[in-house]
Chain A
Amino acid sequence: MDRSSRSRRNAACWGWAGTAAIGVVIWGIQARAGERYEIGRPATEAEIRAWDIDVDPNGHGLPPGRGSVADGAALFAAKCASCHGPTGTEGPADRLVGGQGSLATARPLKTVGSYWPYATTLFDYIRRAMPLTAPQSLASDEIYSLVAWLLYQNGLVPRDIRLDAASLPAVLMPNRDGFVPDPRPDLPR
């Protein structure tokens, strides 16, 4: 981009004859900006599948499987409660439950239930990063179950929810519309 505009400027200075002469010399030894370098190799489907773990708000990327609140409760007690507390409110790590209605107060409490705009993000994050001591160790059913339990604890799904790739993106989070684009610069000059 930058380079091509520079070479255009240079070309104008040299004039047509010079450009033609030098062009012949350079052609074949200098790669031109904008062209491909033929470096790297095609990715295989298997390579992409192995790493393509993200889940977007529409549910793209959610794997097959399902989870229940009951299974989630047992899993949370076994694998999460030591950091997040027995009910997801005690810490010492992030509070996951409660805080709804607190965001505009003097003591805002940002939790999954009060702050997170998308339920799908919970699946994505648990799958890629939790538990802290053994990330990417949970099976899809286990992740669906943990998400189901956390959403249930926050009062966002019924106790008998069967959470899967179809039902998870349909969960409407209370703070779904709580985010605005960056308005900065925002201070009076």
Chain B
Amino acid sequence: MQHRGDEPSATDRPNRSAHPGQRGPVGRRSLLIQTATVVALSALERLSPALAAEAEPVPDDPTKIPGRSPTPYGSRARFEISARLAKDTRSLTPHQDLHGIITPSSLHFERHHNGVPAIDPSRHRLLVHGLVDRPCVLTMDDLRRFPSVSRIVCIECSGNSAGEWSGPTGRTVQETHGLTSTSEWTGVPLATVLREAGMQPDASWVLAEGSDAAALTRSLPLAEILEEALLCYAQNGEAIRPEQGYPLRLVVPGWEGNTCIKWLRRLKLGAAPFMTREETSRYTDLMPDGLARQFTFVMEAKSVITSPSGGQHIKPGFVEIRGLAWSGRGRVSGVEVSTDGGRTWHRADLQDPVLPKCHTRFRFPWRWNGRGAVLQSRCSDETGSVQPTRAALVAVRGLHSTYHNNAIQSWKVTEHGQVVPIEA
């Protein structure tokens, strides 16, 4: 950057041989330059915080130069470069770089069917109609007036790991498991809004429709979602990101991501499913006998080791095996880790909070002896569901069901410490 020229020259720099804790001499020119830089940067920060952070000079000793001013909207350190992997209609969360359970909003996976629409929230409306007594229109201000609920849940695309049915194809955990992310979602319960509209007794399904260029629609059975579904306007404390459905998204905890209709503009109540393309041609699971399972909403018990994972490199000695586990059926009850390809299993530690239908962080302390190893994790949930091997899953569902692949993932550690996906 051109600002590099503004950095103090070697002669202007504080004496680097100075004893730690003892301030070195600061030349007048250096001080002037630093002051000018700080002033210029504050101006830049107001215009573009991200650009300002990038332009900020990095001193040899940050204790000797005043830091930059507060900014209106923060950004991460310029050295942090972890990014989604964006391709066609989706982008994948870089789980290999992340910690804890909350996915940064900027790294939450994307899946959209005809682009991310630009929507002015002041003009956005939710229409509720069909089998209701009082068809109504709600603005975003209206929706925020209702009693609100916050909930930390993961959303997983049912196509997560869809490329892995016939064996490993993704090289990194981002490629194999990047279509799941966790946020704190805030909004109004669907039940509250439907009560306001006056659900009629014969209403049993709701069609949810987005205002994107796919006008994406799914039919959802009311009895199964009324208790938990939320109409969300906030994600991780601020307005939902555009690619996550700004300004309004239906969130159905534990169900495939496609049911969590983004850019929500219409709810129509009916007495039967509407049989949209997304619940007939797509998001149905073809079995070996030629029949297809329909309305396979729930995401099942699943886990994956995020570190060490494909593409990473480890050294002999202590290695903390870290990963994520989740189940759309409820809470994770346990995670087991194997370092020998599933021959022996060890209980992993679960990090609180362990929330239902949410990513749970697990850890297992391991000493790598420098010999080849195959790392696996296996999730169990509170309903007794256990994450299957790929072979067990394929034995029942065949190779063409596309969606809902919750098989155990295997990472091979070579003698050189290289981590690669492997069929195990």
Taking beta carbons and an 8 Å cutoff, which residues of A are in contact with B?
1, 31, 34, 36-37, 39-43, 47-48, 51-54, 56-57, 103-104, 108, 110, 112, 115-118, 120-121, 124-125, 128-129, 132, 135-136, 178-189
Contact = CB atoms under 8 A, between A and B. Distances in A.
Given A51-B127, A118-B280, A121-B281, A129 B292 contact: no
Contacts of A110: 281, 286
Interface residues of B, number: 60
Given A43-B135, A54-B209, A121-B281, A183 B275 contact: no
Contacts of B134: 42
Given A115-B281, A178-B290, A39 B135 contact: no
B292 A180 contact: yes
B263 to A, nearest CB: 13
Interface stretch (B47-55, B170-178, B211-219): B211-219
Given A39-B146, A48-B127, A189 B214 contact: no
Q: Interface residues of A: mostly helix, strand, loop or mixed?
A: loop
A43 B127 contact: yes
B268 interface: yes
B145 A37 contact: yes
Nearest 4 pairs of A and B residues by beta carbon: A104-B290, A103-B290, A125-B277, A128-B215
A12 B139 CA distance: 39
Contact of B137 (A43, A112, A189): A43
A129 B146 contact: no
A120 B275 CA distance: 9
Nearest to A175: B292
Given A36-B195, A39-B138, A181-B295, A108 B400 contact: yes
Interface in B373-401: 384-386, 388, 392-393, 396-397, 400
B265 interface: yes
Contacts of A34: 195
Given A54-B207, A187-B396, A182 B265 contact: no
A25 B294 CA distance: 52
B380 to A, nearest CB: 10
Interface string B402-422: 000000000000000000000
The listed residue with most A CB atoms (<10 A of its CB), out of B196, B274, B293, is B274
A43 B136 contact: yes
25 contacts: A34-B195, A36-B196, A37-B147, A39-B145, A39-B146, A40-B139, A41-B136, A43-B127, A51-B265, A57-B275, A108-B286, A108-B400, A112-B281, A121-B281, A124-B274, A124-B277, A129-B113, A129-B277, A132-B114, A132-B213, A135-B213, A183-B293, A184-B296, A185-B300, A187-B388
Interface of B: 113-114, 127-129, 134-139, 142, 145-147, 191-192, 195-196, 207, 209, 213-215, 217, 227, 265-266, 268, 270, 272, 274-277, 280-281, 284, 286, 288-298, 300, 384-386, 388, 392-393, 396-397, 400
A110 B294 CA distance: 15
B276 A121 contact: yes
A42 B298 contact: no
Contacts of B296: 182, 184
Given A116-B281, A129-B113, A31 B147 contact: yes
Nearest to B287: A180
Nearest to A61: B274
Given A41-B136, A103-B286, A53 B215 contact: yes
B227 to A, nearest CB: 8
A37 B146 contact: yes
Q: Count chain A CB atoms within 10 A of each CB in B266, B272, B277 and give the residue with the most.
A: B277
